[in-house]
Amino acid sequence: MSETAKKTSAKVLVFSTEKISDPAIDLAGLLKLHYPPTVYVITVPCSSSVKPKWIMHAFEKGYDGVFIAADGSDCPFSETCTEKTSDIIAQTHILMKEKGMNPAKLKMAAICSVCAEPFVKHMNNFVEELSRN
Protein backbone atom coordinates (compact mmCIF):
# COMPACT_ATOMS: atom_id res chain seq x y z
CA MET A 1 0.00 0.00 0.00
CA SER A 2 2.76 2.45 0.93
CA GLU A 3 4.35 1.60 -2.42
CA THR A 4 1.36 2.83 -4.44
CA ALA A 5 0.75 5.77 -2.16
CA LYS A 6 4.34 6.80 -2.65
CA LYS A 7 4.11 6.35 -6.40
CA THR A 8 1.42 8.97 -6.84
CA SER A 9 2.70 11.43 -4.31
CA ALA A 10 5.88 12.89 -5.83
CA LYS A 11 5.33 16.63 -6.07
CA VAL A 12 6.59 18.43 -9.12
CA LEU A 13 6.88 22.15 -9.67
CA VAL A 14 6.78 23.18 -13.31
CA PHE A 15 8.07 26.51 -14.52
CA SER A 16 6.17 27.11 -17.71
CA THR A 17 6.11 30.03 -20.12
CA GLU A 18 3.04 32.12 -20.65
CA LYS A 19 3.10 32.21 -24.46
CA ILE A 20 4.51 28.82 -25.40
CA SER A 21 4.22 26.02 -22.88
CA ASP A 22 1.16 27.26 -20.94
CA PRO A 23 -1.07 26.78 -24.02
CA ALA A 24 0.24 23.21 -24.35
CA ILE A 25 -0.54 22.47 -20.69
CA ASP A 26 -4.00 24.01 -21.09
CA LEU A 27 -4.51 21.95 -24.24
CA ALA A 28 -3.66 18.78 -22.31
CA GLY A 29 -6.53 19.64 -19.96
CA LEU A 30 -8.86 20.45 -22.81
CA LEU A 31 -8.10 17.08 -24.41
CA LYS A 32 -8.60 15.42 -20.99
CA LEU A 33 -5.11 13.93 -21.15
CA HIS A 34 -4.40 13.02 -17.56
CA TYR A 35 -1.17 13.56 -15.67
CA PRO A 36 -0.58 13.36 -11.91
CA PRO A 37 -2.44 16.03 -9.89
CA THR A 38 0.71 16.60 -7.85
CA VAL A 39 2.11 18.63 -10.74
CA TYR A 40 1.86 22.38 -10.10
CA VAL A 41 2.59 25.09 -12.62
CA ILE A 42 4.07 28.54 -12.09
CA THR A 43 4.05 30.74 -15.17
CA VAL A 44 7.02 32.90 -16.18
CA PRO A 45 7.60 34.94 -19.36
CA CYS A 46 10.62 32.96 -20.61
CA SER A 47 12.24 29.76 -19.36
CA SER A 48 15.60 31.52 -19.20
CA SER A 49 14.26 33.81 -16.47
CA VAL A 50 14.08 31.11 -13.79
CA LYS A 51 16.45 31.86 -10.95
CA PRO A 52 18.42 28.90 -9.51
CA LYS A 53 17.49 30.31 -6.13
CA TRP A 54 13.78 29.73 -6.87
CA ILE A 55 14.48 26.13 -7.79
CA MET A 56 16.51 25.59 -4.62
CA HIS A 57 13.74 27.25 -2.63
CA ALA A 58 11.28 24.74 -4.08
CA PHE A 59 13.47 21.79 -3.06
CA GLU A 60 13.88 23.20 0.43
CA LYS A 61 10.12 23.49 0.73
CA GLY A 62 9.73 19.81 -0.12
CA TYR A 63 9.08 19.47 -3.83
CA ASP A 64 10.43 16.17 -5.14
CA GLY A 65 11.16 17.51 -8.59
CA VAL A 66 11.35 20.70 -10.63
CA PHE A 67 10.67 20.73 -14.35
CA ILE A 68 11.40 23.63 -16.66
CA ALA A 69 9.24 23.70 -19.76
CA ALA A 70 11.61 25.51 -22.09
CA ASP A 71 10.44 27.35 -25.17
CA GLY A 72 13.15 25.89 -27.35
CA SER A 73 13.41 27.47 -30.75
CA ASP A 74 9.89 28.88 -30.35
CA CYS A 75 10.92 31.42 -27.75
CA PRO A 76 9.54 34.76 -28.84
CA PHE A 77 12.37 36.55 -27.05
CA SER A 78 15.59 34.92 -28.15
CA GLU A 79 16.96 32.06 -30.23
CA THR A 80 19.45 31.28 -27.49
CA CYS A 81 16.76 30.70 -24.90
CA THR A 82 17.32 26.93 -24.68
CA GLU A 83 21.04 27.39 -24.29
CA LYS A 84 20.50 29.90 -21.52
CA THR A 85 17.97 27.67 -19.80
CA SER A 86 20.51 24.82 -19.93
CA ASP A 87 23.04 27.11 -18.24
CA ILE A 88 20.55 27.71 -15.44
CA ILE A 89 20.07 23.95 -15.07
CA ALA A 90 23.83 23.34 -15.03
CA GLN A 91 24.34 26.04 -12.44
CA THR A 92 21.55 24.67 -10.26
CA HIS A 93 22.88 21.13 -10.61
CA ILE A 94 26.10 22.36 -8.97
CA LEU A 95 24.14 23.88 -6.10
CA MET A 96 22.17 20.65 -5.75
CA LYS A 97 25.29 18.50 -5.64
CA GLU A 98 26.75 20.75 -2.95
CA LYS A 99 23.70 19.91 -0.86
CA GLY A 100 24.00 16.21 -1.65
CA MET A 101 20.91 16.17 -3.84
CA ASN A 102 20.35 13.97 -6.87
CA PRO A 103 20.56 16.18 -9.99
CA ALA A 104 17.90 13.99 -11.67
CA LYS A 105 15.33 15.86 -9.57
CA LEU A 106 15.70 18.84 -11.90
CA LYS A 107 14.80 18.45 -15.55
CA MET A 108 14.05 20.52 -18.58
CA ALA A 109 12.51 19.81 -21.97
CA ALA A 110 11.24 21.94 -24.80
CA ILE A 111 7.43 22.12 -24.76
CA CYS A 112 5.91 23.98 -27.71
CA SER A 113 2.45 25.53 -27.76
CA VAL A 114 0.86 22.36 -29.14
CA CYS A 115 2.98 19.83 -27.20
CA ALA A 116 0.10 18.61 -25.01
CA GLU A 117 0.97 14.94 -25.38
CA PRO A 118 4.72 15.34 -24.87
CA PHE A 119 4.00 17.38 -21.73
CA VAL A 120 1.77 14.67 -20.31
CA LYS A 121 4.36 12.02 -21.13
CA HIS A 122 7.11 14.02 -19.43
CA MET A 123 4.98 14.49 -16.31
CA ASN A 124 3.93 10.85 -16.08
CA ASN A 125 7.52 9.66 -16.50
CA PHE A 126 9.04 12.24 -14.19
CA VAL A 127 6.57 11.65 -11.36
CA GLU A 128 6.98 7.91 -11.73
CA GLU A 129 10.75 8.18 -11.71
CA LEU A 130 10.73 10.43 -8.64
CA SER A 131 8.28 8.19 -6.81
CA ARG A 132 10.54 5.21 -7.43
CA ASN A 133 13.57 6.88 -5.86
Q: Which of 27, 50, 6, 84 is nearest to 14 (CA)?
A: 50
> Which segment (83-91, 97-105, 125-133) binds another protein by CB under 8 A?
83-91
Out of 10, 21, 58, 105, name the contact with another protein by CB under 8 A.
58
Q: State the DSSP string of 33-65.
A: ----TTEEEEEES-GGG--HHHHHHHHHHT-SE
Out of 6, 29, 102, 132, name the contact with another protein by CB under 8 A.
29
Q: Does 40 bind another protein (CB under 8 A)?
A: yes
The alpha carbon torsion through 79, 56, 51, 10 (nearest 10 deg) reads 50
Out of 1, 7, 21, 27, name the contact with another protein by CB under 8 A.
27
Q: Does 88 bind another protein (CB under 8 A)?
A: yes
Quote the least distance from Cβ 23 to another protein, whole Å. 5
Task: Supply the Cα-derived Rg of the chain in whole angstroms.
Answer: 14
